[in-house]
Amino acid sequence: MMIPDISTILEVVLIAVKVVVVTMILFGLPLPLTWLERKVAGHIQVRLGPWRVGPHGLLQPFADMIKLLMKEDIVPDRADKFLFTIAPLLAMVPAFAVFVAIPFGENIVIPVINKEVSLYISDMNVGILYILAISGLGVYGIILGGWASNSKYSLIGGLRSSAQMISYEISISFAVIGVVMLSNSLSLVDIVRSQGGSLLQWNFFYLPVGPVWCAIFIIGSLAEINRIPFDLPEDEGTLGAGFHTEYSGMKFALFMLAEYVAMVSVSVLTVILFFGGWNSPVPLPIPIPPIFWFVAKVAFFIYFFMWVRFTLPRYRYDQLMTIGWKILIPVSLVTILITGFMRI
Amino acid sequence: MSDKKGIDILDLIKKVLFTDFVKGLKVTLGYNISKSITHRYPDDEKWIPYRRFRGVHTLNRDENGRELCVACELCVKACPTSCITVVPMEDDTGRGIADRVAKVWRVNLVRCLFCGYCEDACPTRAVRLGREYELACSDFRCTVRNREDLLMPQPVPESIEGGIVAKAKFERPLSGIKVTADLKVTKKRAW
């Protein structure tokens, strides 16, 4: 038997550790995010938001978690039991799998063992392609959940979700193609590196097409992750709760988890593709760790998505389709053409 | 959308620049950073109403401590829901301002609609609607207030104008919850 040498073993261990750390962070993130979302909602509506559980309601997510764990886990009588059970997982796993290809910073050196560690699990040379492919799979959880519930509301919610995904995935992909044309690479690390230097190197400021790409990407992503103003699949007004009408307890929590992780991944992608990733906006004399810029930008976009959620009303279904097919796709095609001419 | 044929250029520019969207975001951001108007009641704030507030009835005394009520029963006649019961009696020991005082003065708060007609009908200004508004309780006994309760001094004295938020303490003994306002620490309401 061939015994692998020590550096290979260390490499494998390192990757395993990174996977565990990222997964733990992603499992933990929805807790502060639910709190933040409710606080933002409260303050935008001139209320206080969660207040009574812990100081400033900080322990509210834990109370919610305990509540969800204690709730009865209902599987409807006529539901497809198997699909009903795995649908939340199908929604959740792709949301997590996206983070395999996402870089969080340049390589750092761990001081004690003096080893260089990369801040990504895998730097694929087709990273962005992988992310688009995997995040598109998340919709299976929603469709199957809606289908397996054997309820009209769930089914319509699932159908809307799939239609929405098909309509907006195209324009998102075109927006990403634009970024790839600007950065000449499909690898996210290279995309970030190409935006280094200063503010003006960011893809967002590649005038006049940068802001257009960014707008298309953000609008399309909002539709992909089913957030207001595009949360037609869980339209409370007309569909009960949409695809998760029949879900309760932990299964429902998994759907919510998937939704929040998807929101984080969209924020991260927006930052990486358009806002220079971990690059600092202006050259500074004092060295600030790049991870700070990365987290700050991502936090801003997470706040931005919540801010939008409590600003805009929900679009009607025909408006959703009009925006997707009649505006975003033609605009993105024209912008690709312009970008192509500009890059000659 | 304009009624005219063709594309309204101004409208198109507005749409391209997301003018309305940005306006909306500005409004919500303004609210987000503005101060919340929520009263943290019952935890640590309590609303002190204005003098004109119509809460639970009070029976008043004159400056010598004599009861103003002369048991004329006009409040009973004026009451649209017949929730007041008055039984008069004769008493010349100086308990009231006249020889006729109320033996029973009882108001059923479940039926009372706090219209204030009793207040208007009262010739001696004995009955007033006070500023107490915490009426929730766990049995029907506390929904009927008797003369003895109503003659008690008010927790919010008449000298305080009201319309303020006072710091409060929330107590939860087994006998029933209570929110006591600290009238020395007050603030204007936020809006």
DSSP state letters, A37-93:
HHHHHHHHTTS--S-SSSGGGTTHHHHHHHHHHHS-----TTS-HHHHHHHHHHHHH
Q: How many whole angstroms separate alpha carbon A272 and alpha carbon A214?
A: 11
Three-state SS for A193?
helix
Residue of B nearest to A40 (CA): B32
Measured between CA atoms, how close is B85 to chain A, in angstroms? 43
- A215 shares contact with chain B (CB less than 8 Å): yes
Q: How far is A268 from chain B (nearest CA, A)?
A: 21
Q: Is A141 exposed, middle or buried (0-12, 13-18, 19+ CB in 10 A)?
A: buried
Q: Which residues of chain B have pLDDT under 70?
A: 1-6, 190-191
Q: Do A307 and B29 touch (CB under 8 A)?
A: yes
Is the separation of the CB atoms in A251 and A85 below 8 Å? yes
B37 close to A (CB below 8 A): yes
**Domain extents in chain B:** 1-34, 57-128+138-153
Reading across the β-sheet that carries B84-90, which strands appear in turn? B84-90, B100-108, B144-145
**Tell me, what's the pLDDT at A282?**
81
pLDDT tens, B83-131?
Answer: 999 999 998 888 889 889 999 999 999 999 999 999 999 999 999 998 8
Report yes or no: B48 and B164 within 8 Å, Cβ to Cβ: yes
Residue B31 forms contact with A (CB below 8 Å): yes
Contact B171, B83 (CB under 8 A): no
Interatomic CA distance for residues A269 and A289, integer angstroms: 20
Extract the tokens encoding A188.
């996210």
CATH level 2 (architecture), domain B57-128+138-153? 2-Layer Sandwich (3.30)
pLDDT at res. B82: 92
Candidates B21, B31, B38; nearest CB to A44? B31
pLDDT of A287 reads 79
For A47, the closest of B27, B29, B38 (CB atoms) is: B38
Cα A69 from Cα A248, distance rounded (Å): 10
Q: Is A29 helix (H, G, I), strand (E, B) or coil?
A: coil
The segments of chain A whose pLDDT lies below 70 read 1
pLDDT at position B187 is: 82
β-strand partners of A115: A110
Tell me how close the Cα of A331 comes to any Cα of chain B, in angstroms. 11
Which amino acid is it at A204? F
Are B31 and A215 a contacting pair at CB < 8 A? no
* CA–CA distance, A256 with A249 (Å, rounded to integer): 11
Radius of gyration of chain A (CA): 21
pLDDT computed for residue B3 by the predictor: 57
Determine, yes or no, domain membership for A1.
Answer: no
In chain A, which residues have their Cβ closer than 8 Å to the Cβ of B42? none
- Is A308 in CB contact (< 8 Å) with chain B? yes
The pLDDT value given to residue A300: 94
Long-range pairs, A63-67, Cβ under 8 A, ≥24: A64/A34, A65/A31, A65/A253
Note whether A303 contacts B: Cβ–Cβ < 8 A.
Answer: no
Contact of B140 with chain A, judged by CB distance below 8 Å, is answered with no
Q: What is the 3-state secondary structure (H, E, C) of chain B?
A: CCCCCCCCHHHHHHHHCCHHHHHHHHHHHHHHHCCCCCCCCCCCEEEECCCCCCCCEEECECCCCCECCCCCCHHHHHCCCCCEEEEEEECCCCCECCCEEEEEEEEECCCCCCCCHHHHHCCCCCEEECCCCCCCCCCHHHHEECHHHHCCCCCCCCCCCCCEEEEEEEECCCCCCEEEEEEEEEEECCC
Give me the phi and psi of B186, to 5 degrees please: -130, 165
B32: contact with A, CB 8 A cutoff: yes
Residue in chain A closest to B29 (alpha carbons) equals A44
Q: Per the structure, how many domains does chain A have?
A: 1
User: A143 with A158: CB under 8 angstroms?
Assistant: yes
B175 contacts chain A (CB < 8 A):
no
Residues of B in contact with A45 (CB under 8 A): 31
The DSSP line for A93-135 is HHHHHGGGS---SS-EEETTTTEEE-SSS---TTHHHHHHHHH
Q: Is residue A204 part of a domain?
A: yes
The answer to whether residues A151 and A245 touch, using CB atoms and an 8 Å cutoff, is yes
Residue type present at position B174:
L
Contacts of B17 in chain A (CB under 8 A): none
Task: State the Cα–Cα distance between residues A47 and A40, nearest whole angstrom.
Answer: 9
Could you give the CA distance from residue A170 to residue A32 in angstroms, rounded to a whole number?
A: 32
DSSP conformational letter for A175: H
What does the pLDDT read at residue A13? 87
- Asked if the C-beta of B38 comes within 8 angstroms of chain A's C-beta atoms, the answer is yes
- Put simply, whether B89 touches A (Cβ < 8 Å) is no
Which of B31, B32, B36 to mutate to test binding with chain A, by most A CBs within 10 Å of its CB? B32
* Cα angle for residues A124, A96, A299 (degrees, 5° grid): 95
Grouping H, G, I as helix, E, B as strand and the rest as coil, residue A196 is: coil
A-chain residues near B21 (CB < 8 A)? 311-312
Q: What is the mean pLDDT of chain A?
A: 88
Q: Do A279 and A197 contact (CB within 8 A), yes or no?
A: yes
Q: Which domain holds residue A251?
A: 6-343
